[in-house]
Amino acid sequence: MRGNAPQTCFRGLGSFRLFPVWAGLKPFRWMFGWGVCLTVWLAGCVHAPRQPDPQMAAPSLPAAAAGVQETQEPVEIPEAWHEPFSLGEYRLAIGDVVEVSVFGHRDTLAEEVPIAPDGRLYYMFGEGVEAAGRSPDEVAEEIEGRIGSLFVAPQVSIIPRRYVGARYSVLGQVESPGVYPLDASITIRQAVARAGGLAQGVYRGTTVELASLRNSSLIRDGQPLPIDFEALFLGNDFQFDLPLRPGDLVLIGSGLRYEVYLLGQVREQKSLAYHDGMTIVEVLAGASERGGGYLPNAHLEGAAILRGELDRADVIRVDIRRILEGKATDVYLAPGDIVYVPERPFRLLRDLHRTIVMSFATTFSGEAGADLMRREVFGEDQ
């Protein structure tokens, strides 16, 4: 129906400037209610529509996701990013707890010495040694100089026991989000595993992945690094499995922000929680109280995906029969897609587009939503 459109937060009702019109239709505003607004908005609140070739080859993820995502340039990961974090690099911070001892003198062992709020370490002398912002070796060297009159060639050992500054965070859709001590070198995958793995939950009676790897990121020094989480977790591309550093944030995005919709000649017309890697066959065959699948009179050769803003959406034709027969590859869906299985073939895209929009509005918003679509999308008077 059209080419790609700029990204926008509001799709469906808002994207074709219906909110201002809606505000002026007071007699209808309360009649239709928020259900119409939210339902149609949910169908279209997605990234700017893209026009992939639905019959393109679909290799295993993440490369297959190119059928949904824009092709990205290969990412060069600097070699320095793969250097593991060493505790020798660590700088002590206020609140850290260390063990201090003088080699060969057991009575000098102090197992838990905190770095005080003034940033000093107090050990065997009154005024303390500046410790915050310095390495354990630097602090040990200064202590050795101060106690040289008490011991012959003293060798001071400082071993960090609890770190405040050496921490990283794993937040978002993991089983145990939180802040973790960076007490040894650990990579992104190991950190997610330590946090209990990717979260799962129940959505409308079905167990689903709550995490969206596509919307996940590694934040370092306030900036996201170009890490492809899909390639790392699904494609085992270990060039992206970087060792974490103090202050890093691993943020696992949510996959339940959007839905996809199944309409037409199917056993159950429904909305489903979108997840990364969802395909048209998965949606069509999904188990439900009605068993899933399509009706005997379904015209599988003429199925379509409606993607984008309802009034200017891309209509992507998909031959489901060829896919089921193994003659064509499955098709990956995008958040907000409407999958429609017709009863008969459509010669004109505009007729197919209108049928899908009206079917969606009627199914999820009733006749009130259908009337609204006729007026505002297709310019038809009652």
Label residue 357 by pLDDT band (50, 70, 90): confident
pLDDT over 50 (residue 53) = no
Torsion, Cα of 313, 319, 323, 325 (10° steps): 170
Structure tokens at 103: 């080699």
Lowest mean per-residue pLDDT among 42-51, 153-162, 171-180, 200-209: 42-51
Lowest mean per-residue pLDDT among 26-35, 185-194, 355-364: 26-35
> Is domain 14-73+258-376 classified as CATH 3.40.190.10?
no
Cα dist. 137→49, 84, 88, 143 in Å? Answer: 56, 20, 8, 10
Q: What angle do CA 209, 211, 216 make, to 5 degrees?
A: 155
Delimit the CATH 3.10.560.10 region(s) of the chain. Answer: 14-73+258-376
Q: What angle do CA 238, 240, 245 make, to 5 degrees?
A: 115
Delimit the CATH 3.30.1950.10 region(s) of the chain. Answer: 91-162
Tell the residue number behind the tokens 């939950």, with chain if given. 201
The span from the CA of 336 to the CA of 8, in Å, is 14
Strands 303-307, 259-264: parallel, antiparallel or unpaired by DSSP?
Answer: unpaired
Give the CATH superfamily of 91-162: wza like domain (3.30.1950.10)
Please give the distance of CA 41 from its chain centroid, rounded to a whole number.
Answer: 21
Element of type H or E holding 322: helix 320-324
Q: Are 198 and 209 in contact (CB under 8 A)?
A: yes
pLDDT tens readout for residues 277-333: 889 999 988 755 555 789 999 999 999 999 987 777 889 999 999 999 999 999 999
Q: Are 311 and 15 in contact (CB under 8 A)?
A: yes
Label residue 190 by pLDDT band (50, 70, 90): very high
Q: Return the percentage of the chain with pLDDT > 90, whole number.
A: 21
pTM, two decimals, is: 0.49
